[in-house]
Copies of this chain bind each other. A is one copy, B any other.
Amino acid sequence: MAELTGLFSPGRVAVVGATPREGAVGHAITSNLIEGFSGEVVGVNPNHDEVLGVDCVDSLADAGDPDLAVVVVPPGIAVDAVREAGECGVGDVVVITAGFGETGSEGATRERELREVAEEFDLNLVGPNSLGVMSTPVGMNATFGPDDALEGSLSFMSQSGAFITAVVDWANDQGIGFKDVVSLGNKAVLDEGDFVEAWNDDEETDVIIGYLEGISEGREFIETAREVTRETPVVLVKSGRTDAGAQAASSHTGTIAGSERAYEAGLEQAGVLRAESVQELFDSAQMLANQPLPANESIAVITNAGGPGVMSTDAVGDSRLSMASFSEDTLDSFREALPAEGNVHNPVDIVGDADVERFTGALEAALADPNVGMALVLSAPTAVLDYEELAERTVELREKHDKPVAACFMGGERVAPAAELLREAGIPNYFDPARAVESLDALAEYREIRGREYDDPTEFDVDRERVRELLDRAEQRGDNRIGVEAMEILEAYGIPIPDGEVVSDPAEAERVAGSIDGEAVMKIVSPDIMHKSDIGGVKVGVPESEVYDAYEDLVTRARNYQPDATLLGVQVQEMVDLDSGVETIVGMNRDPQFGPLLLFGLGGIFVETLEDVTLRVAPVSEREADAMIDEIDAAPLLRGARGREPVDEAAITETIGRLSQLVTDFPEIVELDINPLVATPTGTTAIDIALTVEQ
């Protein structure tokens, strides 16, 4: 998509609906715009010749070719104003006006019209129902919020305008600056994916951050974000995480919130760092904007205080970081420099009487150690320690060794000037060791994301036409739960099913039973009988000699149970020995935002109670399918825990991959469960399947 230069660096901005009336949105925006903006501003309002000292014209056609139109007219005429912008060749439009999709059906119709106009003229349109946009390098505040943002390298999008006003006021106080800020509004045209893409191409943006309540095009966003996050970190708060939150989100903006689990999987696959709170969002973003990525995940903690040292170690244990093991050289240098009561191992305790020399000597030795990826300087206030000097030397060492450093100079007033020195050099200082460690953890997380390899999904050789036929046949019958064809559908996509066939007379049943190994399982096949076991419609362990009678018995039971049921025959299958394998589940559910969501986990009776499952948005590569197996808690059971033979993991991977291909090829499959998929040392077999299509 789209360059957004006209949006964030316009030479000339027209405010359609500019007004001198105080309290009006058209007044606030004009007033914000004229203050500090390096470009030109023109008002569009037939009732005025001038607004706040700015020329005001009757229509956009007279506005002297603006690059950006900000529309603040009432909803009834907003679509016309946007059309006029298109006709005049204005490429970028921000619609502040509310009263669209977030209100009733009239608003929804209006929003559809707006989208059509934007498409017709290929407009980059923000909103409607937006607070506006800001871009600090050109001094542009085209919002009706109360504050200008400071200049910085974070670009920030938010689905909540109120959140922008709150964040900007707070960030000004904290000295945190932004490159661009955009209030997404209803996302009728431009959405989060467009901004992520545009900001990746923007040299002045170091980190992309956002507050989202929903993602418009899940799969597309994953593809975009994967590319972007190779170069530019993206940190998002996605709210509506819990059920209660999701309800609030949908009543708020009219977004149909996708399920939290889909977002969890999707954002993880997209390479997005997900923040759970505002604090985490900004702690992570500032660290990513100001410090280099670590070469490894090992942290050195240098401290003059044993207790806080232990707290930092706890925090490291909660994170993906690990406490660095120092090289012998480093240990020797600690041994030389530290008193006997000190601790040369991590966390390095340089003891309470340490001065700045001992502190920075230890820090330098640690940063010089190739085993150390990053450091935490953790200090309690003492009489012998000059915090400001320690801050200055810490800044020098951070730059000299080009490794990330966080600080925990604990204390209050005594620390303030040192903290300011650190902050100016991009080193965060937190009172709480846990928070300092978490900020470093964000760097390690992004390092992992940057190192990811994304493969294409394997293309298996499958019989797509056969599945087409089987689904069409079910559609003709009007079934949306696929019964008898489901196993055949799996077979057509190469997913192993038990040997056997559906037969329609007892002699055929005997023939099939003769062709399979061991005893047989026999099941009645009828679209009208859902719970076969309950009516005695399933027989297991049937020897070949009893198959004929068993066939007749099954049919009799079905007839007695429901005389008008359509009987399609009896399925005769080999018995799969469940004891020799592990019961897993492989399934798919279609999410409104992300599309097919694959599930893998421990199957059988444990699936519901323990929920030991993992999810991915399909299609998945072999690498991703492998990772799914790794992620479940019960993975050791697959790998031969308690003296069992390991199962064939490659076969599970392949089954996941083939299922992924199936549900990607056939969007009408909305739900599919293979439970159990029995995994044994020699392969997998799909024992039971439930499949639903959209009719």
Contact = CB atoms under 8 A, between A and B. Distances in A.
Interface stretch (A72-80, A272-280, A566-574, A586-594): A272-280
Interface string A379-415: 0111100000000000000000000000000111111
Contacts of A279: 431-432, 434-435
A105 interface: no
B243 A309 contact: no
Nearest to A145: B381
B349 A169 contact: no
A3 interface: no
A309 to B, nearest CB: 6
A166 B308 contact: yes
Question: How many copies of the polypeptide does the oligomer hold?
Answer: 2
A339 B644 CA distance: 66
Given A305-B160, A380-B166, A642 B608 contact: yes
Contacts of A460: none
Q: Interface residues of A: mostly helix, strand, loop or mixed?
A: helix
A290 interface: no
A664 interface: no
B166 A244 contact: no
Interface in A332-351: 341, 343, 345, 347, 349
Interface of A: 23, 28, 103, 146-147, 158-163, 165-167, 169-174, 211, 213, 237, 239-245, 247-249, 251-253, 276-279, 304-311, 313-318, 322-323, 341, 343, 345, 347, 349, 352, 380-383, 410-415, 431-435, 605-606, 608-612, 633-637, 641-642, 644
B411 A166 contact: yes
A237 B314 CA distance: 11
B314 A241 contact: yes
Of A23, A352, A435, A606, chain B has the most CB atoms within 10 Å of the CB of A606
A248 B432 contact: no
Given A146-B381, A162-B380, A163-B307, 17 more contacts: A103-B341, A158-B307, A160-B306, A161-B352, A166-B308, A166-B410, A169-B413, A170-B431, A213-B310, A237-B311, A241-B317, A245-B316, A247-B313, A252-B349, A279-B435, A608-B642, A610-B633
B162 A352 contact: yes
Contacts of A412: 169-174
Given A172-B413, A278-B431, A410-B170, A308 B243 contact: no
Contact of A314 (B146, B240, B314): B240
Given A166-B305, A341-B103, A239 B146 contact: no
B162 A278 contact: no
A172 B431 CA distance: 13
B610 A610 contact: yes
Contacts of A167: 410
Nearest to A144: B383
Contacts of A322: 244
Given A248-B347, A308-B160, A432-B278, A169 B415 contact: yes
10 contacts: A162-B306, A165-B381, A169-B413, A169-B415, A239-B310, A252-B306, A252-B343, A277-B435, A605-B644, A610-B610
Nearest to A383: B146
Contacts of A252: 306-307, 309-310, 343, 349
Given A169-B414, A381-B169, A253 B317 contact: no
A169 B411 contact: yes
Contact of A251 (B163, B315, B323, B343): B343
A314 B276 CA distance: 9
Of A304, A352, A414, chain B has the most CB atoms within 10 Å of the CB of A414
A313 B306 CA distance: 38
Of A253, A278, A307, chain B has the most CB atoms within 10 Å of the CB of A307
